[in-house]
Structure formats: C-alpha cells, structure tokens
Amino acid sequence: MFDRALASAGVERDRVYVTNAVKHFKFERRGKRRIHSKPNAGEITACRWWIERESALVKPEMTIALGATAARSMIGKAVTITKARGAPVPLADGSEGWVTIHPSFLLRIRDRAQAEDEFGRFVEDIRRAAARLK
C-alpha cells in the first residue's frame, strides 16, 4: 500500500528511508492470531532515542510521520492526525516534518469508494510534502 502510494505520488522508493517509531511489536492473542496493540506514551518515549540516532545518521531533509504513534514520536507530544495533517511541522533539528495517516488505516476502510478517496488524500499528502523538497 505504501509503495503504491509513493509510486502514485512520483516518489522513488529507493530514495526513502523507512523505520518504525516503536521498535517492538506489542500484540494481543485472539485465537491463533496476533492483533497489533497500540504503543503507549512510555513505549514511544523509550524508543525515541533510537529515532534520534537514526535521524542523526540518515540526516533526512524531511520526515513524514505515518500515523499517530509516529507523529507523537516525531513531534514529542500527542497530536490529532486530522489537525496536523497537510501542513509542515518544524522539527528541532531544523528539518521539516509532515503528518499523515498510517497506510494500514486504508486497509480497514470497508467501503471501496471511501477507501479509494482516502488513498487519494494519502497520495496527495506525500506529493505535497515531496514537492517541498524540489
């Protein structure tokens, strides 16, 4: 889903560094399935040093937070995706951040037309952020 969105936005996948804001997979068992559990604030904070080190090594001009967990890690506080989405966020290191949905959100939308509309918004978020780099 993410690769498809990047391609649709005209962003080359090999020019993108992808990482997770929280480095462990927390889950609940439901029968034989493992259902993802959202990380809490302490877990996000505990992994923040990792993100800071990766950023220091990669030196990204821009960071796009995919979802609320990544946004909280990037900004340092909880944000609402709908309020933070679509506008640049100045980051402490002088680079620019953007907030958008997590691609897995698209997989949970049952209505196909609504899912395609939301996918289009996701692509546009990526396109607008990438345009700032050109």
Q: What is the pLDDT of residues 25-69, one digit of tens each?
A: 787 888 888 777 789 999 999 999 999 999 999 999 999 999 999
Nearest CA among 97, 93, 86, 95 for reference residue 125: 86
The beta strands (E) that lie in 39-119 are given as 62-66, 89-90, 96-100
- Give me the pLDDT at residue 79, please: 93
CA dihedral 99, 104, 110, 115 (to 10 degrees): 50
- Give me the pLDDT at residue 30, please: 85
Q: State which CATH number among 3.40.470.10, 3.20.20.60, 1.10.3720.10, 3.30.360.10 fits the domain covering 2-131.
A: 3.40.470.10
- Give me the pLDDT at residue 47, please: 92
Mean pLDDT of the region 83-89: 93
Q: Is 102 helix (H, G, I), strand (E, B) or coil?
A: coil
User: What residues have CB less than 8 Å from 54, skipping those under 6 apart?
Assistant: 17, 19
